[in-house]
Chain A
Amino acid sequence: MTEAQVEPEIMRISWGPQHPMSGQTRILIDVDGEVVHRLIADLGFTHRGIEKILENRTFLQGIIPIERMSMVDTANMGLGYVLAVEEALGIEPPERANWIRSMICEICRINSHLYAFGLQAESTGYFPAVFLWTTVDREVLLDLMERLTGARWSYNFIIPGGVMNDLPEGFQDKVKEAVNYLRGRFEQYWEAMVENATFEMRCKGVGVLKREEAIRLGATGPVLRGSGVDMDVRKDEPYAAYGDLEFKVVTEAEGDAMARLKVRYHEIEESLNIIEQVAGDIPGGPVRVKVPLFPRPKPGEAMSRVETARGELGVHIFTDGGMNPYRVKINSPTLRNMYVFERMAELGRILVADVPVILYSIDPWYLDADR
């Protein structure tokens, strides 16, 4: 009999680029036996050069490529760009438009968090059912958006100066119906995920990110709040109608994959409250102010920040007095969280089976990391 090899041997596993569960990217995992030695996020498979494309589009045309950055979270992405354009042009949207914007953004946030639930359940390998539930429940929200904007994805509904159209007749009642439906469905997710012993074993204490590390590594969104930092652009720098709406910033102290899931869960509850508030108390008035079709802002710069489902999106527009932006810099949330993911192997001992759980607990969206 020969002895089994005893020296540690590093083997590299390539996960992707063909759709590792969601989106196109490649995760390289260097393993020593079962223990992960190093993680490498190989990005760029969906790089479309959106920043360059925007330099060759007028300010209104720019809404279309920027909303392609994240399909489930369209409105939040579009709003980040539109707020920067409005700042550059010096225009204020009417109050009613701001409330409608907040409502659409929260619908997108729920949509996106539900998708994240499905993927995180799928990543543990046991719960394809949850993914199917979220698909069914997201339908309700997509129908709502179709009724409002005419599209299920990529609405291009938020434009400089306000929103495209006013709410259709009876829309508020439909919103309340949808909110009630989702509230009724919600306990099921808590039972299937948070209270499920198997799921708990796969997620609790996995991929722990301490508070100081989360701040130092530049994490954002639910990843940062899951480590106990209460940073949320909606509160820190209220935009749209968030200054007038009541909601809490959700945080969890543990910093593991389960904490990130719980943050998303409670954020959905907060989002449902916001949507209900908007449907109940939305002020009247016009929904947009007139903006020229080819606006030419003064030379200078404008920088907006919005809280998307995955974290903070910053859009920094430089203008030179022309019809197109001189340069648009997009600070995307997933790129920041992917760096945190890469460092996970250095922060604690992780096993190769935990890699999918950790990756999908940060809820990556490669299209917005690659731009």
Chain B
Amino acid sequence: MQGADENSFVEALLKSYPELVEEARVLRPKRVSILARREKAVRLAEILRDEYGFIHPISAGAVDYPKDMRIQVIYYLTNPSQRFILTLRVNLPRNDPKLPSMTRVWSAMEFHEREVMEMFGVEFEGHPNPSRLLLPPNWRGGYPLRKDFKGEGVEV
């Protein structure tokens, strides 16, 4: 049955670790979304990797919601046996966007977290190489992917 893996995964996770998950749902077949609490995100990530087989990291990104004063960091993961996409999301307050780095769980998140860092100003605590990935070293224009960024004539 289409979507059976996804539903059983969400049920099992909610049953075993209700305290770690704020919200878990199947968006559509092959897409699962989990919202984690900031302080428990790394613990949940370790469980996802070790117990549920999400050992294949894809990427990380973020979305800025200035109206709600939050930035949502999203990790994209997959599981080589079931092969649906899991988006692990963490909401951060916009005035204090700090999150423990997931590189200790999935080392390949290094590049993606660096990108989120320079584009959204999210600080990843414990990141092995917190330098810029794409923007030039002398960039002074702020965080380009935040909604209040004005892309008009920035001195570099």
Segment 98-115 of B: residues with Cβ below 8 Å from A: 106-108, 110-112
Number of interface residues of A (CB under 8 A): 33
0 or 1 for each of A298-327: is its CB under 8 Å from B? (1 = yes): 000101010000001010101000000011
Contacts of A220 in B (CB 8 A): 58
> Cβ of B57 < 8 Å from any Cβ of A?
yes
Contacts of A318 in B (CB 8 A): 63
Inter-chain contact B76/A217, CB cutoff 8 Å: no
Inter-chain contact A329/B107, CB cutoff 8 Å: no
Contacts of B74 in A (CB 8 A): 316, 329
CB of B62, distance to nearest CB on chain A (Å):
8
Chain B residue, CB-CB nearest to A56: B151
Q: State A220–B55 Cα separation when bound (angstroms).
A: 13
Q: State A122–B133 Cα separation when bound (angstroms).
A: 28
Majority secondary structure, A binding face: mixed
Inter-chain contact A43/B133, CB cutoff 8 Å: yes
Q: State A47–B137 Cα separation when bound (angstroms).
A: 13
Inter-chain contact A316/B135, CB cutoff 8 Å: no
> Cβ of A52 < 8 Å from any Cβ of B?
yes
Q: Which of A161-169, A184-192, A334-342 faces chain B? A: A334-342
CB of B119, distance to nearest CB on chain A (Å):
8
Question: Looking at chain B, what size class is its interface with the partner chain?
Answer: 20 to 34
0 or 1 for each of B19-44: is its CB under 8 Å from A? (1 = yes): 00000000100110000000000000
CB of B135, distance to nearest CB on chain A (Å):
6
Contacts of B76 in A (CB 8 A): 314, 316, 331
Segment 229-243 of A: residues with Cβ below 8 Å from B: 229, 231, 236-237
CB of A321, distance to nearest CB on chain B (Å):
13
Q: State A32–B134 Cα separation when bound (angstroms).
A: 28
Contacts of B97 in A (CB 8 A): none
Q: Given known contacts A312-B58, A331-B59, is B133 in contact with A52 (CB within 8 Å)? A: no
Inter-chain contact A51/B145, CB cutoff 8 Å: yes
Contacts of A329 in B (CB 8 A): 59, 61, 63, 74
Chain B residue, CB-CB nearest to A49: B144
Q: Which among B106, B132, B133, B144 is the interface contact of A218 at CB below 8 angstroms?
A: B106
Chain B residue, CB-CB nearest to A87: B28
> Cβ of A44 < 8 Å from any Cβ of B?
yes
Q: State A215–B135 Cα separation when bound (angstroms).
A: 28
Interface pairs A-B: 3 shortest CB-CB? A44-B134, A218-B108, A329-B61
In addition to A218-B108, A231-B83, A331-B61, 18 A-B residue pairs with Cβ atoms within 8 Å of each other are A44-B133, A47-B135, A49-B144, A51-B145, A52-B151, A215-B55, A217-B108, A218-B58, A218-B106, A303-B31, A314-B76, A316-B61, A327-B145, A329-B59, A329-B61, A335-B59, A335-B111, A336-B58
A-binding residues in B (CB < 8 A): 27, 30-31, 55-59, 61, 63-64, 74, 76, 80, 83, 85, 87, 106-108, 110-112, 132-136, 144-145, 149, 151
B-binding residues in A (CB < 8 A): 43-44, 47, 49, 51-52, 215-218, 220, 229, 231, 236-237, 301, 303, 305, 312, 314, 316, 318, 326-327, 329, 331, 335-336, 338-340, 370-371
